[in-house]
Amino acid sequence: MRYLAHLSALSFLCLFGSQHVDAMDAVHAGAGIPVGEAGSAGIASPRADPAGRCPGLAVEIVASSVNEHALACSAAAVTLRLLDRCNIGLKRLLRVEIMEEVRHPFSGPILGMFDTAQERVLIAREASVPALIKDTPYADLPLRDFYSSLVVHEIVHGVMRQNFRRKPTTHAAHEYPAYALQLESLPADVREAFLRSFDPAALRSNSLFSDTVLFFDPYFFAARAYHHYRAAPDVCAQLAGLLSDDVAFIAPPM
């Protein structure tokens, strides 16, 4: 399918454990909160130290600058607000590290990952993102909006993991909520610009979400996950089902 040359950078944003890769990510992400409001939450107050806990949140950010810290805290606040609507929240402190480079354990540089062994989010610095998304649908989006949504994507992984009642058995089940909320966190006009990259009829497809589609076209998977999530009569039931690995819209493992 499209953009296969970029899979090493994008479809392998991952949940990585000490023994194995648990799931693949690519990137991107409200119901209840107006979308524009979710995508433009106020930046946290600058701190004297770029490493430290976000004000009022159980999220610790390690960054190289005060501005990076503020941006990550703002994205964390959006993420927790989106999940709190469904009574899904952090049970313990989540650590987010913004790094010069994040490398997939079996590949090259990637945008970000969730390290399950140490329960921490790793995110590449904003300046390194353009090279990783070149010639992809994400390259046409405003960099700051896309980057904030990337942070949302990885924090969703961290929060969902702390709330699993039964660990998902497919990559698609891990990635569906991360992508859906990533796209939801974007300003409405930015999100719509991304969605216009895809055939509307294909986004409305009733086919199951599978690891195969995730691997070969993570961008389409992301767009369709958001469309499917927003079309659901009860988005919280969708997320609750994923926490129990009990949903009908995810294909079983191969």
pLDDT in tens, the chain (254 residues): 444 334 434 433 444 443 223 333 333 222 222 222 233 333 333 344 577 999 999 999 999 899 999 999 999 999 999 999 999 999 999 999 999 999 887 878 999 999 999 999 999 999 999 999 999 999 999 999 999 999 999 999 999 999 999 999 999 999 999 999 999 999 999 999 999 999 999 999 999 999 999 999 999 999 999 999 999 999 999 999 999 999 999 999 97
- The CATH number given to 4-243 is 1.10.390
CB 28 within 8 A of CB 222: yes
Q: Is 25 exposed, middle or buried (0-12, 13-18, 19+ CB in 10 A)?
A: buried
Tell me how far apart the alpha carbons of residues 157 and 197 are, in angstroms, rounded to a whole number.
25
Backbone angles phi, psi at 133, to 5 degrees: -110, 10
CB 110 within 8 A of CB 124: yes
Domains of the chain, by residue range, sit at 4-243
C-alpha distances (whole Å) from 157 to each of 2, 136, 160, 195, 209 are 25, 23, 5, 22, 17
pLDDT at 106: 80
The model's pTM is 0.83
Q: What's at 100, amino acid-wise?
A: E
C-alpha distances (whole Å) from 3 to each of 18, 89, 123, 218, 250 are 29, 35, 22, 9, 23
CB 72 within 8 A of CB 225: no
CB 115 within 8 A of CB 213: no
pLDDT at 49: 58
